């Protein structure tokens, strides 16, 4: 799956939250998404009107997160657009070959699913108040970073 970063002077007014009792992520306020990209047990929610990523939601037990010292990638504000034709109401799996690992830096409060290491040619975009997505030089998604509010 290919993506495109759309630069602008802002990002969605959504905050990613982690619900300790449910062991899950969700955006607040809730946003309307009708296309989902599955990564492990999480979903990257996309609005089919714009084809832009809006939120991360779903199950992610904290005891499965690997403790690491993470370096957050520098990011511009904007949107991440999914390229191609995708039918609303369906889900596609992003991590088909191998389930992506989750990492957490208790010192900074940042969570990452995917590759936490920045590589030459990577680009990052902040798409809401506390979420960054990273694509590589071939425009494929490599990581999702969240600095969640824990509830």
pLDDT tens-place string over residues 120-135: 999 999 999 999 999 9
Exposed / middle / buried, residue 118 (Cβ in 10 Å: 0-12, 13-18, 19+): middle
Sketch the domain layout of the chain as residue ranges: 3-85+92-150
- Write out pLDDT tens, residues 31-69: 999 999 999 999 999 999 999 999 999 999 999 999 999
- Specify the pLDDT at position 9: 78
- pTM (predicted TM-score): 0.96
- If DSSP states are collapsed to H, E and C, what string results for 72-141? CCCCEEEEEEECCCCCCCCEEECCCCCCCCEEEECCCCEEEEECCCCCCCCEEEEEECCEEEEECCCCCE
pLDDT of amino acid 126 = 97
Question: Residues 75-119: pLDDT tens digits?
Answer: 999 999 999 999 999 999 999 889 999 999 999 999 999 999 989
pLDDT band at 12; cut points 50, 70, 90: confident
Q: What is the pLDDT of residue 10?
A: 78
């Amino acid at each position: 799956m290919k993506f495109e970063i759309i630069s602008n002077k802002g990002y969605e007014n959504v905050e990613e939250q982690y619900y300790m009792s449910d062991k899950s992520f969700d955006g607040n306020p809730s946003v309307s998404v009708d296309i989902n990209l599955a990564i492990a047990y999480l979903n990257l929610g996309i609005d089919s009107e714009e084809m832009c990523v809006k939120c991360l939601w779903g199950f992610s037990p904290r005891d499965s997160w690997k403790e690491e010292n993470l370096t957050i990638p520098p990011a511009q504000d904007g949107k991440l657009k999914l390229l191609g034709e995708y039918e609303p109401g369906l889900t596609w799996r992003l991590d088909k070959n191998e389930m992506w690992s989750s990492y957490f830096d208790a010192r900074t409060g940042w969570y990452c699913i995917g590759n936490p290491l920045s590589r030459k040619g990577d680009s990052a975009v902040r798409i809401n108040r506390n979420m960054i997505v990273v694509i590589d030089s071939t425009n494929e998604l490599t990581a999702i970073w969240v600095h969640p509010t824990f509830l």
